[in-house]
Structure 1
Amino acid sequence: MPALRFALVLFAIAVTANADNFSARFDAVRSQATPEQLYALLYALPKGGDLHNHFGGANRSEWMWAILTDSARNGGDVFYARERFDAAPDAIAATARHHTIRAATYRALPPAQQREYVALTAMTSNERDAWLNAFRLEAPGEGRAVFFEDHWPRLGDINANPHVRFELLAENIKAFAAEGVRYLELQFGVRGMQHNDLSDLSDAEAVAMMEARLAQPDIVATGLELRFLEMILRFAPDAEQDLIDTYAWVDAHRDRWVGINMAGIEENGKGYPRRFLDTYRRLRAKYPTLPLAIHAGEMDSPDHNIRDTLLLGASRIGHGVNILGDEDTLLMLQHSDRTLIEVNLISNRLLEYVTDLDRHPFPELLRTGVPVCLNTDDRGMWDSNMTDEYYTAVTHFNLSWAELVQLGRNSLSHAFVEEPVKSHLLAAYDADIAAFETRFSRGTIADALAELEAVSPVTYGYGRRNWGFGFAE
């Protein structure tokens, strides 16, 4: 065994022993902590990676507003949203409200339609608040239909502006790093972006702009490791051709893009997994294989989509909320470490795939040997963060210290990042966990709780609405 690997094994053994020793301490701190103190403790917790994250839904409305209204950050563009209508309000489609476009798109509209759009910088305070709320699930009664049918169309051509896209990427990196995430695997692409005059930006130009932004000191200082997945919309009419084109593109950009994801509502009968089986097999005959992390089991009723997705070659399953209804596949997953299920508790609750979180399959998976980790999915549209996922898991399922540590290790062990970097991330995670244990082991339980006063948690609308937390944003 090489010396470095041997040293890492010894370190992991030592960390496991320390985790066992810290378990009782963690339980005691948690039992005496207020909800706010528990949240602060989990905010400080090292969290490994976020593996299931849609960039388009990851951006908080406030981040978008700040960038879209700042010419220094958006490349000198101007953005308009559809806010004023001649027709009666109840006759206006929800997808039309708050639809946001760039200046060149606005100039191409006929005058009558231009009058319906308002520059973001000219909005009233009420219009601004309505716009901010239009990109998140924050009102009673909103759910799956609003999310899939209204939120995404409203984004218009926001993400076609490369300056905006890369500034939003920077905001995500800094926010995740601040709460202890050290690896981020985003569903993120650079194809199809345009200059302010709507002329096409080449892929090479886009990648160069992105890498230049990632090399800036504010991003480098975070220490966060970043890789991307290209995403395919599974039910699109041309999804097979999109898969062929995407596979070739990712193969040519393996330094930053590490795999492929297929997403889309599974209720749509055109997105069933076996539709793509022949295409994947032909692609694997042509290219060295690419890792696959594919949405499956995000359904209200039992089906065999998870099993069929594994047949496509996926080694990570997104959501998997109906897995308990396919006992043969569950049994297989319980006896194999190859496949990880990417759990998204807040997403599953808000989209009503699991109306009662206490009945979520997460604890059954975790405690019967199926590799799982926690993820944020579309955290901007939930107005949440990674700590919210951990707080939800701890308070609903009484997670032990060893289980918390395992969640973080699972996220890194099943990351698609290249092996040398993965080894480094795992070693760094073990060191961070050891430092966390040392920090909160000193003195009495009261001393540990007092140490939390030095933690400055950040929470957003989800934490305020559901738990009443008043931490700063």
Structure 2
Amino acid sequence: MAINKRLKPALFRAIGICAGLVAGVASFASNADEAWFEEFKSTADDRDLYRFLYALPKGGDLHNHLTGSNFSEWWYQLATNKKLNGGYEYYTRVRINNCVGYGQDMFGLAPYLMYFRNLQASSYQALSDCEKGEYKKIDALNGREKAAWLDSLRLDKKHEGREEFFQTHWQRLNELGRNPYINAEMLVKNMQAFAREGLTYLETMEGTRFYTRVDGSTFAPDEVADIFRKRLAEPDALATGVTARMQYYLLRFIGNAEEDLEWIYRFVDANRDLFVGVNMVGREDNDKGHPQRFLPTLRKLRRDIPGVPLSIHAGEVDEPNHHVRDTLLLGATRIGHGVNLISDPDTMLLMRNSDYLVEINLISNLLLNYVDDYSQHPFPEYLRMGIPVALSTDDRGMWDSNMTDEYFVAVKEFNLSWAELTSLARNSLAHSFVDEATKQKLLQDYDTRLAGFKKRFQRSGMAGLGDLVPRSHSFICKQYQLCEFSTPLMAAN
């Protein structure tokens, strides 16, 4: 139909007015839809806000180091329970005798002057008499020693930070983290705890090498993968309703990292039912692990192997640099941390309204001193600039925190709207590396659970949340004076 030229301006003005009215109605409807949440935020105290967020349906945790995600109490339970840990006995260093020589772990020489370094019995038996005198069975620790042992695996003191975390926590765990039965059990414990918080997906970082048998010999990688598969198929794991997958980690700064990457890439390709991606881990301020080091290797691998998803730590460093940009060049579609992305405006523009996701770790970034306080964190800028983001827990066991803590900090510190809050969960599922059919099922389930939660809360308020009570996490307790949450419930999470 031809339109009279004189009528065109008037018609276009009318269309514009109608479009504006439609947009205004949609905006009004959206604001009205969120009014209940804004009213709740304005009247709720911290305890009610925390309970609300604990009960809130959530999506997944995409940035989760398995051995760093386990609470100290869980480590103690499994270190001292042969029925659950595969029949292993463990010893820990409780004194320094100034013996000659000291042990070596897979990350290099461990500091000799380190209390609570853990060995399995086969390694203990190989020590000199002097060194044996430094160790004690973990299940024989007295009350004071046990409390110190538990504290040694978490950041619980003001002076502890980045160096304590990177240079002592993993070295203390030592052979506790090389038991596949313990790690498989820990995976299920995480699934159970996350299920209570309303998560339905977990994508954790772990490997299948360097695991040792009771006698000290080495497991084959395929054997370890099968131990994980078997544990995930047991009734209590299935009962969580949590879908669990793994990313295989690469320690980025070691001398043979390129060879490691080739082996890992091929192993993931051969075990895609369990492993869904590769992740480069390790201190980013060690320049030997810079991203472009791995570009030739990845290009060679991609010639022969269908794409293996990459989610790589980048921007977890103090200085401005182009590591996030270089990590995208490697083929990564998810960025772990991304704290210094804020100093690279060109890459920020590239990531706006894109398929690249930043895995945000608020508590980790604070405790490891990448920000001095939350007002410095770039998370709200990314969120409100249109860069896809999702909250994650990183090494939650070592912070003594959970996913609700991350949500609590995000809402309290940055005044998230209902649409922003719920986008975090959707992003965590939409950007997961799980197969498409499972992903769509998880997204549909999330929308159903969220609609039910919203309806219950709008009808019954706090009473509609039920009697779910979170454990008292030391992080939230200290930072926000929420210590009234009952500490005897700690074992329940």
Q: Give, in whole Å, the separation in 1 of the partners of 2:221 and 2:258.
A: 21
Partner residue of 1:457 out of 466, 470, 477: 470
Q: Which moved more, 1:240-249 or 1:195-204?
A: 195-204
TM-score, reference length from structure 2: 0.88
Q: Give, in whole Å, the separation in 1 of the partners of 2:79 and 2:198.
A: 28
Q: Secondary structure at the match of 1:81?
A: strand
C-alpha contact 1:187 1:261 (8 A) present in aligned 2: yes
Partner residue of 2:75 out of 56, 59, 64: 64
Residue 421 of structure 1 aligns with an amino acid whose one-letter code is T
Partner residue of 1:268 out of 286, 291, 296: 286
1:323 aligns with 2:341: yes
Query: CA 1:59–1:24 in structure 2 vs 1: closer, same or farther (change >3 Å)?
Result: same
Match runs of 1:18-97 below 5 Å? 21-87=32-98, 96-97=114-115
Q: Which moved more, 1:94-103 or 1:16-25?
A: 16-25
Specify the alignment match of 1:310 in structure 2. Answer: 328
Q: Offset at 1:17?
A: 11
Q: Give, in whole Å, the separation in 2 of the partners of 1:58 and 1:134.
A: 15
C-alpha contact 2:357 2:431 (8 A) present in aligned 1: yes
Q: Secondary structure at the match of 1:459?
A: coil
C-alpha contact 2:246 2:274 (8 A) present in aligned 1: yes
Q: Secondary structure at the match of 2:64?
A: coil
Q: Give, in whole Å, the separation in 1 of the partners of 2:190 and 2:428.
A: 18
Partner residue of 2:302 out of 273, 284, 293: 284
Structure number with higher relative contact order (C-alpha < 8 Å, ≥ 6 residues apart): 1
1:246 aligns with 2:257: no
C-alpha contact 1:18 1:434 (8 A) present in aligned 2: no
Q: Give, in whole Å, the separation in 1 of the partners of 2:208 and 2:32.
A: 46
Q: Which moved more, 1:162-171 or 1:419-428?
A: 162-171
Partner residue of 1:101 out of 114, 119, 132: 119
C-alpha contact 1:29 1:448 (8 A) present in aligned 2: no
TM-score, reference length from structure 1: 0.92
Query: CA 1:21–1:46 in structure 2 vs 1: closer, same or farther (change >3 Å)?
Result: farther
Q: Which moved more, 1:225-234 or 1:68-77?
A: 68-77
Specify the alignment match of 2:437 in structure 1. Answer: 420
Specify the alignment match of 1:361 in structure 2. Answer: 378
Q: Give, in whole Å, the separation in 2 of the partners of 1:29 and 1:52.
A: 30
CA displacement 1:13-63 (0-9 Å, x = unmatched): xxx999765411111122222211110000011110100011121111100
Residue 460 of structure 1 aligns with an amino acid whose one-letter code is H
Specify the alignment match of 1:130 in structure 2. Answer: 148
Query: CA 1:453–1:223 in structure 2 vs 1: closer, same or farther (change >3 Å)?
Result: closer
C-alpha contact 1:33 1:449 (8 A) present in aligned 2: no
Q: Give, in whole Å, the separation in 1 of the partners of 2:392 and 2:145.
A: 32
Specify the alignment match of 2:186 in structure 1. Answer: 168
Q: Offset at 1:86?
A: 2.7
Q: Give, in whole Å, the separation in 1 of the partners of 2:220 and 2:28.
A: 52
Partner residue of 1:232 out of 230, 244, 250: 250
Q: Give, in whole Å, the separation in 2 of the partners of 1:17 and 1:256.
A: 45
Specify the alignment match of 1:13 in structure 2. Answer: none
Q: Give, in whole Å, the separation in 1 of the partners of 2:278 and 2:456.
A: 39
Residue 397 of structure 1 aligns with an amino acid whose one-letter code is F
Partner residue of 1:121 out of 139, 144, 164: 139
Q: Offset at 1:170?
A: 1.4
C-alpha contact 1:95 1:150 (8 A) present in aligned 2: no
C-alpha contact 1:273 1:312 (8 A) present in aligned 2: yes
Q: Offset at 1:95?
A: 5.8
Q: Give, in whole Å, the separation in 1 of the partners of 2:30 and 2:53.
A: 16
Q: Give, in whole Å, the separation in 1 of the partners of 2:448 and 2:28.
A: 13
Q: Which moved more, 1:25-34 or 1:203-212?
A: 203-212
Q: Give, in whole Å, the separation in 2 of the partners of 1:209 and 1:21.
A: 51
Q: Offset at 1:452?
A: 4.0
Q: Secondary structure at the match of 1:454?
A: coil
Q: Give, in whole Å, the separation in 1 of the partners of 2:188 and 2:341.
A: 35
Partner residue of 2:447 out of 430, 439, 451: 430
Q: Give, in whole Å, the separation in 1 of the partners of 2:79 and 2:112.
A: 22
Unaligned runs of 5+ in 2: 1-26, 100-109
Specify the alignment match of 1:3 in structure 2. Answer: none
Q: Give, in whole Å, the separation in 2 of the partners of 1:272 and 1:191.
A: 23
Q: Which moved more, 1:197-206 or 1:63-72?
A: 197-206
Q: Secondary structure at the match of 1:254?
A: coil
Partner residue of 1:439 out of 456, 473, 486: 456
Q: Secondary structure at the match of 1:206?
A: helix
Q: Give, in whole Å, the separation in 2 of the partners of 1:215 and 1:460.
A: 30
CA RMSD of aligned residues (A): 1.8
Specify the alignment match of 1:371 in structure 2. Answer: 388
Residue 436 of structure 1 aligns with an amino acid whose one-letter code is F
C-alpha contact 1:385 1:459 (8 A) present in aligned 2: no
Unaligned runs of 5+ in 1: 1-15
C-alpha contact 1:227 1:257 (8 A) present in aligned 2: yes
C-alpha contact 2:66 2:183 (8 A) present in aligned 1: no
C-alpha contact 1:260 1:292 (8 A) present in aligned 2: yes
CA displacement 1:311-368 (0-9 Å, x = unmatched): 111000000101111111111111x421000000000000000112112100000001
Q: Offset at 1:449?
A: 2.7
Q: Which has the larger radius of gyration?
A: 2
CA displacement 1:377-396 (0-9 Å, x = unmatched): 00011010000000000000
CA displacement 1:408-467 (0-9 Å, x = unmatched): 00011100000000000000011011011111010xxxx413334623223321122222
Q: Offset at 1:105?
A: 0.8
Specify the alignment match of 2:414 in structure 1. Answer: 397
CA displacement 1:72-125 (0-9 Å, x = unmatched): 11122111001112359xxx9586211001011111111110110010111111
Q: Give, in whole Å, the separation in 2 of the partners of 1:415 and 1:217.
A: 24
Specify the alignment match of 1:386 in structure 2. Answer: 403
C-alpha contact 2:229 2:274 (8 A) present in aligned 1: no
Q: Offset at 1:302?
A: 1.0
Residue 356 of structure 2 aligns with an amino acid whose one-letter code is T
Partner residue of 1:211 out of 213, 229, 240: 229
C-alpha contact 1:195 1:201 (8 A) present in aligned 2: yes
Q: Give, in whole Å, the separation in 2 of the partners of 1:136 and 1:359.
A: 24
Specify the alignment match of 1:408 in structure 2. Answer: 425
